[in-house]
């Protein structure tokens, strides 16, 4: 479904009881973000929020994509799997054998549809250019400041348009923009991104790079800007396919080489000069739940700002999950499952990216397994597939076809059942594979920025060729009494979560207070000598401040803080005179320091609201029309902070 503009989408949300209009004054500096954080973490993602009284001329829309229902409404589908099925059917039609003229003619309607999705450049001006700021000033827009240690206000939902100066191919991406002045922002594109490649090409040519930023319009544009498309695929082709109508573009006023959606609410035009010094941008409370620390990025000089009459300023916040961006990620998981299946990993049956893994950190893949080593084949294919190169932990599972299990019955969202099956099939000493390669530059656990370790856990059923007959997959005998013994023997262990053992998942989670060099490795070796540990296949270590009984939080912290290749320790223990052995692997998911870990990068803090903002929102809550009082989610994390600054101390 195509929306004429963002206002029409809001009307649909209101009709579906998915929108709350907030008429009370709310400050874009921290207060909007705090309210949104409370709502986005409420049941089913809460509702979309339209802040109509911000002290600026324009209302602010938040949490528009923050639930499965709103994400489906934005994409015009009843279910997120609908688009995936349509893409899969299209792939099958295009790739099927064409034996005669009739088979080929059957393609024509689909090809005609495909042509109708291609973006079109209109002549003249668009709705987005109804009002032209004669003296462009981005500080007149209600750009929000999200978190107390952010470097300043950030544009958080920008749809950024650049072109390759050689072949003029368009890229549409989403990169945060820190506001430094009326006509100056940062342009936070990472080195792996296509816009950064365009920037490097302009640098070679010694030419200014024209850039245009759209805000608003059909909600599918923002999704398309985040989608992991190949470099040569125009994001507006995907948008056209999803909305079943071509995207209409118009040329910018001051940067006419760049085209933007005619129905956008705001357009910010400008340029980046490759010859200029970079600007010190950040910090920023990012989607990992930690601050991304300051670094050098290009300056974006604003040459024009235009907008439609009565525009809406869209924004989002990211931080400790769950947040609105989880649903953008879920859409990508569903929509891009079909292309991965059809072109790279035909044996894949399903894929899941748990919210605790904040996109790249943790991916679960279910495959149809037909031969030994197939999980490793899938591992290599997925780590070579576009943005999957950033994946840190890949878990591969499968139905057991040797026992006649139906490939479609197991559901990946039932994490307990998936983990039970994975651990049943797992030999920690042979079925976990380690590699290293490019990582998300926001991954603070890497010893070197943007380069670190990754692992694949092969939790598929095993053919005889894959088994080590000397490995004993003995039942786990660890009990709550064993946990008390462990706490008494090792005073640095502050808490033990053995609830997974009770679900036949042979994994412990321990919180530890580190106090010496290589402490976790030595501790793991000692713990594995206990008889009660025999049968435990994995131990996850987190910091003493983390509540190990809050599984979602413990896993979020663990995944963020782990470099799997560097931070794992495997212990094999012989069982009497039988020749058999048990194995237990430990993973250090604690903060890394120079003192204890020879880690030389700054370690960022987690993101929470400040007391002043929390109190201010508490006072305003009865006037906001948001129902029963919701306390600040930040309160539960205050004890997990590493001091008060953006860098841990």
DSSP-based three-state secondary structure for 222:
helix
Residue 168: exposure state from Cβ atoms within 10 A (0-12, 13-18, ≥19): exposed
The angle subtended at Cα 303 by Cα 300 and Cα 308, nearest 5°, is 110
Cα–Cα distance for residue pair 56/488, rounded to 1 Å: 59
In this structure, what token pair is assigned to residue 259?
A: 């085209």
DSSP-based three-state secondary structure for 30:
coil
Cα–Cα distance for residue pair 350/408, rounded to 1 Å: 9
In this structure, what token pair is assigned to residue 504?
A: 């036949």
3-state secondary structure 43-106: HHHCCEEEECCCCCCCCEEECCCCCHHHHHHHHCCCCHHHHHHHHHHHHHHHHCCCCCHHHHHC
Residue 223 DSSP symbol: H
In angstroms, the Cα distances linking 32 to 24, 25, 227, 243, 633 are 11, 10, 26, 30, 14
Cα–Cα distance for residue pair 471/572, rounded to 1 Å: 9
Helices (H), 426-550: 480-489, 499-502, 519-527
Task: Tell which residue, 282, 419, 405, has the closest CA to residue 362.
Answer: 419
The residues near 197 (Cβ < 8 Å, ≥ 6 apart) are: 164, 231
Cα–Cα distance for residue pair 564/432, rounded to 1 Å: 10
Are 407 and 399 in contact by the 8 Å Cβ rule? The answer is yes
Cα–Cα distance for residue pair 426/430, rounded to 1 Å: 8
Neighbours of 622 (CB within 10 A): 10
Place of tokens 């462990």: 486
Catalytic pick from 265, 286, 443, 597? 286
The residues near 389 (Cβ < 8 Å, ≥ 6 apart) are: 383, 437, 438
Are 62 and 70 in contact by the 8 Å Cβ rule? The answer is no
Any catalytic annotation for residue 464? no
**Active-site residue set:** 286
């Amino acid at each position: 479904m195509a929306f004429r503009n963002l206002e029409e989408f809001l009307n649909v949300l209101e009709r579906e009881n998915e929108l709350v209009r907030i008429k009370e004054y709310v400050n874009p500096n921290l207060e909007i973000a705090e309210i949104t954080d409370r709502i986005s973490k409420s049941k089913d993602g809460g509702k979309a929020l339209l802040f109509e009284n911000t002290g600026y001329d324009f209302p602010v829309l938040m949490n528009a994509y923050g639930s499965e229902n709103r994400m489906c409404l934005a994409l015009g589908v009843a279910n997120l799997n609908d688009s995936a099925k349509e893409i899969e059917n299209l792939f099958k039609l295009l790739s099927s054998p064409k034996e005669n003229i009739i088979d080929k003619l059957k393609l024509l309607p689909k090809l005609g549809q495909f042509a109708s999705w291609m973006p079109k450049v209109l002549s003249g001006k668009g709705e987005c250019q109804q009002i032209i700021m004669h003296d462009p000033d981005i500080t007149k827009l209600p750009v929000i400041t999200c978190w107390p240690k952010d470097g300043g206000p950030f544009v958080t939902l920008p749809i950024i348009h650049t072109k390759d100066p050689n072949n003029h191919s368009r890229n549409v991406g989403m990169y945060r923009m820190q506001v430094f002045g009326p006509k100056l922002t940062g342009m936070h594109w990472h080195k792996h991104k296509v816009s950064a490649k365009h920037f490097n090409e302009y640098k070679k040519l010694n030419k200014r790079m024209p850039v245009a930023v759209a805000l608003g319009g059909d909600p599918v544009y923002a999704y398309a800007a985040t989608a992991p498309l190949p470099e040569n695929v125009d994001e507006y082709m995907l948008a056209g396919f999803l909305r079943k109508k071509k995207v209409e573009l118009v040329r910018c006023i001051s940067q006419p080489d760049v085209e933007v959606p005619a129905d956008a609410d705001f357009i910010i035009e400008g340029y980046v000069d490759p010859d200029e010094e970079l600007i010190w941008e950040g910090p920023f409370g990012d989607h990992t739940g930690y601050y991304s620390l300051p670094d050098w990025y290009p300056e974006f000089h604003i040459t024009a700002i235009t907008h439609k009459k009565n525009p809406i300023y869209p924004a989002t916040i990211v931080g400790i999950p769950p947040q609105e961006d989880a649903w953008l990620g879920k859409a990508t998981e569903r929509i891009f499952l079909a292309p991965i299946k059809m072109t790279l990993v035909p044996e894949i049956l399903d894929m899941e990216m748990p919210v605790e893994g904040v996109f790249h950190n943790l991916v679960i893949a279910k495959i149809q397994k037909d031969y030994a080593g197939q999980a490793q084949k899938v591992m290599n294919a997925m780590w070579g597939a576009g943005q999957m190169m950033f994946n840190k932990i890949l878990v591969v599972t499968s139905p057991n076809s040797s026992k006649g299990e139906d490939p479609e019955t197991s559901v990946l969202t039932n994490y307990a059942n998936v983990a039970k099956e994975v651990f049943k099939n797992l030999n920690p000493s042979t079925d976990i594979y380690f590699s290293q390669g490019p990582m998300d530059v926001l991954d603070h656990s890497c010893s070197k920025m943007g380069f670190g370790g990754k692992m694949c856990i092969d939790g598929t059923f095993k053919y005889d060729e894959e088994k080590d007959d000397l490995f004993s997959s003995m039942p786990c005998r660890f009990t709550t009494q064993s946990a008390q013994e462990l706490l008494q023997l090792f005073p640095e262990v502050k808490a033990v979560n053995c609830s997974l053992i009770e679900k036949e998942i042979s994994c412990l989670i321990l919180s530890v207070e580190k106090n010496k060099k290589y402490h976790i490795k030595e501790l793991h070796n000692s713990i594995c000598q206990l008889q009660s540990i025999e049968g435990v296949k994995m131990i996850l270590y987190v910091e003493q401040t983390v509540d190990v009984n809050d599984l979602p939080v413990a896993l979020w912290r663990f995944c963020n803080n782990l470099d799997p290749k560097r931070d794992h320790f495997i212990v094999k223990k012989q069982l009497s005179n039988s020749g058999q052995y048990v194995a237990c692997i430990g993973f250090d998911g604690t903060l890394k320091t120079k003192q204890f870990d020879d880690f030389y990068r700054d370690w960022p803090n987690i993101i929470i609201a400040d007391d002043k903002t929390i109190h201010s929102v508490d006072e305003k809550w009865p006037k906001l029309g948001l129902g029963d009082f919701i306390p600040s989610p930040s309160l539960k994390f205050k004890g997990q902070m590493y001091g008060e600054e953006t860098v841990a101390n």
